Chain A
Amino acid sequence: MTRAWIGLAAICAAACRPPQLGDPLRGLSKAERAQFDSGLVVFATTFTPAVGLGPLFNASGCGECHEDPVVGANGDEVERHAAVFHPERAGAMCDELADKGGPVFQDSVTPALHTALGIDHEPLPPMVTTVAARSTPDVFGFGLLDAVPDSEILKYADPDDRNGDGISGRPNRFFDGRLGRFGRKALVPTLREFNDGAFQVEIGITNPSVPVEGTVTGDSLPAGTDPAPDPELGERGLELTDAFVRLLAPPAPLKQTGEARRGSDIFARVGCTSCHVPALRTGDNPIRALSHKEVAAYTDLLLHDMGPDLADICLGLATPSEFRTEPLMGLRHATQFLHDGRAKTPEQAVDLHGGEGARARDLFKALPAADRAALLAFLKTL
Chain B
Amino acid sequence: MRRITLLSLVSLVAPVVLVAQQTAAPHDSVRGAIRAVDTRARTLEVTTGVGFALRVVRLQVPATVPITDRKSAQGAPINLAELKPGDVIRVSFGSRPTGLVAYAIERVGRMDAGVEPTP
Contacts and interface: CB of A to CB of B under 8 A. Distances in A.
Contact of A171 (B15, B86, B114, B116): B114
Contact of B4 (A46, A103, A104, A230): A46
Using C-beta atoms within 8 Å of the partner chain, give the interface range for chain B.
35 or more
A345 interface: no
Nearest to B2: A44
A201 B111 contact: no
A156 interface: no
Nearest to B34: A92
20 contacts: A47-B9, A51-B6, A51-B13, A63-B1, A91-B86, A92-B85, A95-B35, A101-B54, A104-B52, A173-B115, A175-B48, A177-B108, A177-B115, A196-B50, A197-B52, A207-B20, A210-B50, A230-B21, A231-B21, A234-B13
Interface string A37-71: 01001101111100100000000000110010001
B43 interface: no
Contacts of B3: 44, 46
B interface secondary structure, majority: mixed
Interface of A: 38, 41-42, 44-48, 51, 63-64, 67, 71, 89-92, 95-99, 101-104, 171, 173, 175-179, 182-183, 187-188, 193-198, 200-201, 207-212, 214, 229-237, 240, 316-317
A110 B86 CA distance: 37
Contacts of B19: 234-236
B81 interface: no
A interface secondary structure, majority: loop
A212 B35 CA distance: 21
A219 B113 CA distance: 33
A176 B64 CA distance: 25
B1 A44 contact: yes
A187 B50 CA distance: 11
Given A41-B4, A177-B111, A231 B52 contact: no
Nearest to A64: B1
B8 A96 contact: no
A277 B111 CA distance: 26
Given A44-B2, A102-B54, A208 B20 contact: yes
